[in-house]
Every structure is written in C-alpha cells, then in structure tokens.
Amino acid sequence: MYGSDQWVSDDAKRCLCHRIGNVCALAQSGTPTNVDAYQKGVQYLLRTQKEDGSWHVKTRVIPFQKLFDSEFPHGDDQWISGSATGWAARAIIESIPTTVSKK
C-alpha cells in the first residue's frame, strides 16, 4: 500500500508502527500464520520487544500539552508506545496456533 505513496517518507515505511500494522493486517485478512511474510513479521516483533515486554516507538508529534505520565515505560513516547505494544501483542497472539479440544 505505502510502497508507491509519494507522501510517505522512507522512515515512515520502516517504522515499527508500520510493521506492527502489517502483521495485524495479515492476521485480520485471514492470511495463514505459516506464510513467510507473517512469520517474518512475528520474528521481527519478537526481536524488537524490550525486556519489560513493551515496544518503544518514538513519537513524531510536537507536544502541545503537558505530558500526563501514565507510568508506562518510554517517557515522552509512552502513549504511542503503549498503543504499539497492544497491537504488537495482538499480532503475536494471532500467530499462535489454536486447537479445539474434543469432548
């Protein structure tokens, strides 16, 4: 989608949020989790996860109000990082095979 978009910078194409979004989109589209692109995305997320379990995403906005500290890690970047962490966790959870137990 963004590959041919002249308004999206190269940095934005490679940013963590974009990659998280791609893996979530694959999950939501019904793409089998054993597809190479899906597995590479999950492996990227696992490699970039911080030791505390979060993902750090740098904010790109100019602050317009005083920061409300939610105590999520990453200081000024905590709000975008919190959102990204939720989406990344969801993308990884979607990749876990499920089994239905027969009773």
**Domains held by the chain: number:** 1
Calpha distance 103→85 (Å, rounded): 36
Q: Phi first, then psi: what are they for 74, rounded to 5°? A: 90, 20
Q: Reply yes or no on whether the pLDDT at 95 is more than 90.
A: no
Q: Is residue 1 part of a domain?
A: no
User: Helix, strand, or coil here: 7?
Assistant: coil
Digit-coded pLDDT (tens) for 56-89? 988 877 877 788 888 899 988 898 899 889 989 9
Domain that holds residue 55: 10-61+68-94
**In a domain? residue 40:** yes
Q: What is the pTM of this model?
A: 0.72
Q: Which of 11, 15, 13 is nearest to 2 (CA)?
A: 13
What's the CA gap between 21 and 102, in Å, rounded?
A: 34
> Is residue 83 situated within a structural domain?
yes
CB-based contacts of 50: which residues, under 8 Å, 6+ apart?
A: 56, 73
